[in-house]
Amino acid sequence: LAECYRRGGIPILFDTEESFSSERGLVFGLEKLIIEVPETIEQAFEMLLTTMEKMNENDFGVVVWDSLAATPPQSRLEGKQEVGAKARAVSDYLQILLKKLETMNLSLVILNQVRSMIDIHKFGSPLLEAPSARALKHEAVIRAQIKKQQIIKLDDIAIGMNIELMTHKNKIVSPYRVVKLCLLFETGISIPHSVIENALALGLVKQGSGWLEFEGIKFRRTELNKLTKEQFDLLLNKVLENLQKRYERVFSKFVV
């Protein structure tokens, strides 16, 4: 949303979780934001269609829906307990919506939550499924899953976490790509820290007891300023080169 705003686009948030903080939005550079709080899935999609009708040809924007799991279908508000009501509503509206999105400069990001399936276990572990997952799996252009890794601490105070993002479906490039990112609670995704985590995974940075080493320079995760711009750019280029070589090596095995 913040990047969309910085580029001159229209950022829109459907906040059914009611968790957005304007103060934190300003920290990330989000000075203007359209916020809607739909009560039902049907209302959310109708708001989307109305928004699309109001957009001009040269407008572009991003709609983030947080979250589908927290948005009930209309039948639930009416006191009905219909099996699959949420999935049907999502599937019906997405078929209409995606046809319109193809002709517009508008991206739709739907956040969902993974939950344990009741009374279904495999090898002692619960199977996980997201609400209305089948409809989203079929219609989504990109479907990504975010997993929390370790917590990042400074003087025993949690300041962020490492996360892993994996695309399970991708109609734009190859699926099943994995990227490691560093999310700092106060400032968001940290590119420098994310580069370090990927460099560690690739063996480009040595790790000791509480310190890291690159090109003979020792530093802690919280002391990235010890690396000069030239050294950091060198590390970034090495990470990108290694990732590129890895993908080329994998794909070359399947070239006839």
**pLDDT tens-digit map of 225-236:** 888 999 999 999
What does the domain layout of the chain look like in residue ranges?
A: 1-140
pLDDT exceeds 50 at position 145: yes
pLDDT at residue 253 in the model: 59
- Span 183-194, average pLDDT: 89
pLDDT at residue 182 in the model: 93
pLDDT at residue 221 in the model: 78
Q: pLDDT of 17-65, one tens digit each?
A: 999 999 989 988 899 999 999 999 999 999 999 999 999 989 999 999 9
pLDDT at residue 155 in the model: 83
Length of the chain: 256
**Residue type at 35?**
I
Q: What are phi and psi for residue 127, nearest 5 degrees?
A: -75, 140
Residue 74: pLDDT band (50, 70, 90) is: very high
Query: What is the average pLDDT value for the chain, to the nearest integer?
Result: 88
- Span 202-230, average pLDDT: 88
Is 253 or 217 the better-scoring residue by pLDDT?
Answer: 217
Q: b vs e for 38-61, b when ≥16 Cβ sit within 10 Å of the residue's Cβ?
A: bebbbbbbebbeebbeeeeeeeeb
Place of tokens 């490039």: 173
- Residue 55 is given by DSSP the state -
Residue 256: pLDDT band (50, 70, 90) is: very low
**Lowest-confidence region among 12-21, 134-143, 203-212:** 134-143
Are the beta carbons of 62 and 1 closer than 8 angstroms? yes
pLDDT at residue 45 in the model: 96
pLDDT exceeds 70 at position 122: no
Are the beta carbons of 125 and 61 closer than 8 angstroms? no
- Span 107-131, average pLDDT: 69
1-140: CATH topology: Rossmann fold (3.40.50)
